[in-house]
Structure 1
Amino acid sequence: MIFQSFGAAVGQMGDPRFRRVLVLGVLLAFALLAVIYALFLLMIATLTPDLVELPFLGPISGLHQLLGWASLFFMLALSVFLMIPAAAAFAGLFTDDVAQAVEEVHYPFLPPARSLGWAEGLRASINLIGLLVLVNLAALMSVLVIGPFAPVLFWAANGWLLGREYFMLVALRRLPADEAKALRSRNGFTVWMAGALMAAPLSVPLVNLLIPVLGTATFTHIFHKLMAEGR
């Protein structure tokens, strides 16, 4: 079921609606990082004096330019960590479009689904980005403890998070919240394994940007297969 759903999602990646969500998520994420960097540079320019007196070296000028260049490299490194949750969060605002595109192509017999709306989509996106940041920070720190097994923890933890969040985003379009949670609980292992499949490309640059769209499409198929099987 999982690989069949994943294959169907990959096969639809050329859908213009998929590309629209992907491009919007990436552009908004880049815009957010640019704003953060601009604010960071403004803070450096405001708080750093033009001239600093250092022992044995005397007056040193141009410190804020040096810090500005250093901050550029820092921001590039930080963007590697922030880009994925930021793109995922922004794309999460449009996942309803992805799920609808999947249903129109593969499940045209279904009645119209309930639209999650901007408020619910924003709340889900904030939850997802917060959980991803916290879990990935914990996974990074775990490298000091479990060493080479850290990637396994990374995939397992992110698999649980991605599976949980994306399944609920899809299921809530068709079911009340309590029924959606019950369906997820009954099929916890399937949801987790599908989430782990989504988590694996998170460590592959550029490919990881596809996860919001690919995850939503995959879990849309999984949800409808589970419903059809009465599980």
Structure 2
Amino acid sequence: MGVLVDFGRALGQLGDPRFLRILGWSLLVTLAGLAALFWAVMTGLGAVLPETVTLPWLGSVTFIDTLVDWAAVALMLALSVVLMVPVAAGVVGFFLEGVAEAVEARHYPHLPPARSLGLAEQVGDALRFFLIVCAANLVGLVIYFSVAPLAPVIFWVVNGFLLGREYFQLVATRRLGRAAAADLGRRHFWRTWVVGTAMAIPLSVPILNLIVPILGVAVFTHQYHRLAGDAET
């Protein structure tokens, strides 16, 4: 029941100006990154593929290059669902502290300020999380194609585990330090995995997956304070 309450509180704060500002920056950076990747792929294909192909009996054919371009567009659109997970998660990692501070300012104003994560620490954590999620989803691509009917479930379970573990530890680190936060995360392993999986499900929905990481940080901020005994009744 507490998890549903925390989801409700996180959803209720999505209109917070601090959340909207972070969402705006996340959207801008994420779309810019995907656009740069798309441009790089299309430019690479354009440099490798000839403009015309000569076929027996048909002579010079020009439409093959166009077909390959459209196939590349379709492939990038399909992959964007998978790519959006590490990109969005990594980008929001840079703004995690702002989300947690906004939640605590509204719901836990009686608590002393948390330890501020330095810029180098935030960048390091965000890059580490980004690389972990990237690696897991690249490996997952092989599994998705080999057991296609189970691909959505595998996607949700794998990313749910990663989101739950990383977001909870990152939030808890602000209050406890790394060692104690990791220990608390291990003691509540199944809880963080279940909550993370619930957030991973809408990650497969374009546009909505930009909001999920912000919502996830907010939910896990509430979850941490609930476990610490600070949560509102």
TM-score (norm 1): 0.87
Give the fraction of aligned pairs with identical amino acids, expressed as a percent. Answer: 45
Counterparts of 1:64 and 1:120 in 2: how far apart (Å)? 46
SS at match of 1:53: strand
- Please tell me whether residue 117 in structure 1 is matched to residue 109 in structure 2: no
Q: How far apart are 1:39 and its partner, in Å?
A: 2.0
Residues in 1 aligned to 2:136 and 2:226: alpha-carbon distance in whole angstroms: 29
Query: Which consecutive unaligned segments of at least 5 residues does structure 1 have?
Result: none
Closer, same or farther in 2 for the Cα pair 1:77/1:189, shift >3 Å?
closer
**Do the aligned residues in 2 keep the contact of 1:95 with 1:212 (CA within 8 Å)?**
no
Matched, 1:16 2:17: yes
Paired residue secondary structure (1:59): strand
Please name the residue that 1:157 is paired with.
158
CA offsets 1:15-72 (integer angstroms, 9 cap, x no match): 0111111121121111111112222232233333344333332233465555434332
Q: What RMSD in Å do the two structures reach over aligned CA positions?
A: 2.4
Shift of 1:103: 0.6
In the alignment, what sits opposite 1:2? 3
Residue 197 (1) aligns with residue 198 (2): yes
What are the equivalent positions in structure 2 for 1:123-162 lying under 5 Å apart? 123-143=124-144, 148-162=149-163
Q: What SS class does the counterpart of residue 116 from structure 1 fall into?
A: coil
Q: Separation in 1 of the partners of 2:144 and 2:79?
A: 18
Matched position secondary structure for 1:84: helix
Equivalent position of 1:71 in the other structure:
72
Residue 176 of structure 2 is matched in structure 1 by 175
- Report Cα offsets for 1:125-164 as digits up to 9, x if no partner: 2333333333334445435665644443333222211111
3-state DSSP of counterpart to 2:110: coil
Contact 1:99 1:216 in 2 (8 A): yes
Q: Distance in 2 between matches of 1:37 and 1:205?
A: 16
Counterparts of 1:62 and 1:146, CA distance in 2: 34
Quick check: 74-83 or 94-103, which moved more? 74-83
CA distance in 1, matches of 2:190, 2:32: 37
Note the 1:103-114 alignment, pairs <5 A.
103-114=104-115
| Matched residue SS, 2:113 | coil
Gaps of 5+ in 2: none
Q: Deviations over 1:85-141 (max 9, x none)?
A: 212211211111000000111111122222223332222223333333333344454
Q: Secondary structure at the match of 2:179?
A: helix
Q: Residues 203 and 54 (structure 1 numbering): CA distance in 2 closer, same or farther, change over 3 Å?
A: same
